[in-house]
Structure 1
Amino acid sequence: MHSYEVNFDGLVGPTHNYAGLSFGNVASKRFAAQPSNPRQAALQGLEKMRTMRQLGLHQGVLAPHARPHMALLKQLGFTGSDAQILEKAYKYNPTLLSACFSSSAMWSANAATVSPSSDSADNRVHFTAANLSNKLHRSIEAPTTGRVLQATFANSNYFAHHAPLPGHDHFADEGAANHTRLCPQHGDKGLHLFVYGREAFNEGGVKPQKFPARHTLEASAAIARLHQLDDSQQLYIQQNPEVIDQGVFHNDVIAVGNEQLLFCHEQAFYKQHQALDTISSAYSALYNDAHRLSIVEVPTEAVSVADAVSSYLFNSQLITLPSNATALIAPQECAENPAVKAYLDDLLTQPDTLDEVHYVDIKQSMQNGGGPACLRLRVVLTEQELAATNPACLFSDKLHHTLSDWVERHYRDQLCQDDLRDPLLIQESYAALDELTKLMNLGSIYDFQQ
């Protein structure tokens, strides 16, 4: 039976704002406290989804989270009406209030790690929602993420959902942003490349010095066990700590893979040459040398790490089109960076690399620290599994029109940090999301609906 890679993009939430909460994410810090445009951000995301659908690919939508996260503020001892709680929290620490309003769940590459049924021992698609324990504003996401995924993939005959890993530093899990599945074709058994920043139980191990290594080896190993992956399908490679300290907070900011192609910077991995040899050998061993992995290693002299981070070249989506052509869905910033654009233009002339590059405008997401690949969670589904997926979460022209209209009616076109004190923003956000759960047939997934 044929299998499809379906990209499930996170729909940008009504409280999209630039709070600069993500230490280690250069773009997030650069645009901190500037006014955001939630309406434009959501419409840009929907337009990217439409582009994917027009290219002939299956596309899905994951609902945003309810913000502000009032439960956290109440857990921290703030009392009174919603308006009083907001004002008290703002006076205590505006950054805390910003964390409770963050719409960072839009970056669904961090939502979970997913293993297709072709790889798991019980022949089901496995999901583990990421605990995102390294950042306060993201550590509160996992419960809602789990409910969104369960409402989207509800049939237990096909889908298995796991609780997040313990929310401890030893099992810090950043989801699919540090996971790449390599295979001849999406429906084949795959090699799961888990990229980690540090070893939690090895205090003397290699780690970055400036920015945190957000993802641990121990987290990846636990997910491989939960997802019932065979030993031959697991590979653990450490991210280069030196590039983490240059703003490469996730592996998908410096490397991306698709089927038989791995596209990475020459500084992506610790002990790069050894790492790439290990990946190639593991791939060949899994398929008894019947298939070889193609690796495009971008040299620093062509694209510096700084250019890679500022343009999010590697946070592009690497996809296979229905024609079997390989395409890169890149942010517009790649076209505007001379070094990156020149490299991509040259790459298009090289055999067995890229066939097409499509540039998309997602500037609102980029300025908050996330590119095209951040916005999507890859899910490989058979035809039966796709049919068992909540149809109201699958992108279509009709859904595009419905969600665009919904955004136009409910989202503000400007949001500043001081606006987070406005109690009307809670009412607007919750009213919008309550309507959305009906449009997408999700049930009561939000705390305020309980």
Structure 2
Amino acid sequence: MPKHAIEANFDGLVGLTHNYAGLSWGNVASKANVSAVSNPKQAALQGLAKMKQLADRGYVQGILPPHERPHIPTLKGLGYNGSDEQILAAVARDNPVLLSAVASASCMWTANAATVSASADTHDHRVHFTPANLNAKFHRSIEHVVTGRVLRAIFSDEAYFAHHHALPPVSQFGDEGAANHTRLCASHGEPGVELFVYGDVAFDDEAPAPTRFPARQTLEASRAIARLHGLDDNHAVFAQQNPAAIDAGVFHNDVIAVGNANVLFYHQQAFLDEDRLLADISARLKGAQLEAIRVPEADVPLADAVASYLFNSQLLSAADGMVLAVPAECREIPSVSRYLDGLLASGGPITAVEVFDVKQSMRNGGGPACLRLRVVLRDDELKAMHHGVLMTDSLYQHLTAWVQAHYRDRLSQDDLSDPMLLDESRRALDELTGILGLGMIYDFQH
């Protein structure tokens, strides 16, 4: 008999160096706002407000901490020597793009942190975690070590949780984490179907591929993770993303599709072979019928879907249906707003739309879904994890005061070389690990 389980969301707490460097080629919003002045304090408070709002609705909401930035160990590994101040000055003079990369707060988008498989699907009936190597972008490729430490600190009981190393950091195994992974099921505690969406077939030069922007997830990486997690053919489906969508700025599948329980909500141009994908899922989905909500190009042009991040929304189970948690931009673009009104009037499984203000994140190309990592947990698994990272009224108040005390409300690219920013960040993060009870997870703490 299936055990009761919930889907917890673990959001990335926005870091102290949140800035707009435009480092992510293929992410239209990121490029559009390059060099704009950011507001790290506002970004962090917006993220916390989103977490609190969902926690208040009864969802299990967790927090993943930001990483140490600028990351001096990376610069030392690239040959920069001297004091931290000397290193920052040298790299700012010699290679400001490199400084932007090691100062990026991109770990806030925890949909890319890892791929997580539910224990109901895996061969050993444990929850499996594989940090994403993110090797398509240098600034993100340096994240997986600390991400792994954080996940191990939170989910430490080996009786319930299994942790894997990131895949080899080469193009054939490019892995972008849960942004290209969706779990569909009758209920969270029952065996489900894990959908892996890839953009590139690394060893097949004849396979369809984008021509303008790079595909970041490979079929080989997705298959490797499925093997590591012990997913057999009954629990894994692989589908190729439409290359035309990637070239339109859909750099991850979660920019054009989102799923929850037995519902898959997606744009007409999301998948290369839509009919085969739906048939593969339907053949494996037990205990429920797949409800596919296909958004036609005629209703929401792909450009509007990308600009609004309609599909980079959270689809959440509720007592009376499902809630679609959307960024505010969805109500600012007429075609998207009209579609949402029609969706609510249709009598389908999505019965509510809730709007979130995450503009600081959206300007770098990350909506509500980018900010969260989903982890399906049975009651005993939830009990076994570290609870210090779960949102409560007390923790929200504590973290809000922490942000107010430590974050700047204005940050430009020129500020990244300020040694005071590094010092401020380290002192804040050292305090944060105490608040969350995570121990020494940062390099500077050792």
Determine if the TM-score, normalized by the shorter chain, exceeds 0.5: yes
For 1:90-105, what aligned pairs fall within 5 Å after superposition?
90-105=92-107
Cα distance in 2 for partners of 1:100, 1:161 equals 26
Q: 1:14: which partner in 2?
A: 16
Choose the corresponding residue for 2:407, options 407, 411, 417: 411
SS at match of 1:413: coil
Comparing 222-231 with 40-49, greater Cα deviation is found at 222-231
Choose the corresponding residue for 2:203, options 201, 204, 207: 201
Cα distance in 2 for partners of 1:291, 1:374 equals 27
Shift of 1:79: 1.2
For 1:178-197, what aligned pairs fall within 5 Å after superposition?
178-197=180-199
Choose the corresponding residue for 2:384, options 384, 388, 394: 388
Q: 1:312: which partner in 2?
A: 309
Q: 2:338: which partner in 1?
A: 342
CA deviation map 1:62-106 (0-9, x unaligned): 111111111111111111111111111111121110000000000
SS at match of 1:296: strand
Comparing 150-159 with 212-221, greater Cα deviation is found at 150-159
Q: 1:246: which partner in 2?
A: 248
Cα distance in 1 for partners of 2:430, 2:239 equals 42
1:385 corresponds to which letter in structure 2?
Answer: E
Q: What's the % identity of the aligned pairs?
A: 57
Asked if the contact 1:347/1:353 (under 8 Å) is kept, the reply is no
SS at match of 2:11: strand
Shift of 1:324: 4.5
Cα distance in 2 for partners of 1:282, 1:315 equals 25
Q: 1:372: which partner in 2?
A: 368
Cα distance in 1 for partners of 2:277, 2:232 equals 21
1:301 corresponds to which letter in structure 2?
Answer: A
RMSD: 0.9
1:179 corresponds to which letter in structure 2?
Answer: H
Shift of 1:117: 1.0
Cα distance in 1 for partners of 2:157, 2:396 equals 25
1:299 aligns with 2:327: no
Choose the corresponding residue for 1:117, options 110, 116, 119: 119
1:206 corresponds to which letter in structure 2?
Answer: P
Q: 1:355: which partner in 2?
A: 351
Q: Structure 1, unaligned stretches of length 5 or more?
A: none
Cα distance in 1 for partners of 2:136, 2:204 equals 18
Shift of 1:378: 0.3
Shift of 1:205: 1.3
1:318 corresponds to which letter in structure 2?
Answer: L
TM-score normalized by structure 1?
A: 0.97
Cα distance in 1 for partners of 2:373, 2:273 equals 28
Cα distance in 1 for partners of 2:44, 2:131 equals 23
Q: 2:395: which partner in 1?
A: 399
Shift of 1:275: 3.0
Asked if the contact 1:182/1:259 (under 8 Å) is kept, the reply is yes
Comparing 135-144 with 194-203, greater Cα deviation is found at 194-203
Asked if the contact 2:116/2:375 (under 8 Å) is kept, the reply is yes
Asked if the contact 1:100/1:137 (under 8 Å) is kept, the reply is yes
Choose the corresponding residue for 1:329, options 325, 330, 340: 325
CA deviation map 1:164-189 (0-9, x unaligned): 00001000000000001000111110
Cα distance in 1 for partners of 2:350, 2:124 equals 35
CA deviation map 1:180-215 (0-9, x unaligned): 100011111010110000111112211100100000
Q: 1:261: which partner in 2?
A: 263
Q: 1:68: which partner in 2?
A: 70
CA deviation map 1:11-45 (0-9, x unaligned): 00101000000000000000010000000000000
CA deviation map 1:375-423 (0-9, x unaligned): 0000000111111111111111111001000000000000000001110
Q: 1:108: which partner in 2?
A: 110
Asked if the contact 1:130/1:174 (under 8 Å) is kept, the reply is yes
Q: 2:58: which partner in 1?
A: 56
Q: Structure 2, unaligned stretches of length 5 or more?
A: none
Asked if the contact 1:261/1:294 (under 8 Å) is kept, the reply is yes
The count of aligned residue pairs is 444
SS at match of 2:234: helix
Cα distance in 1 for partners of 2:416, 2:129 equals 33
Cα distance in 1 for partners of 2:333, 2:392 equals 32
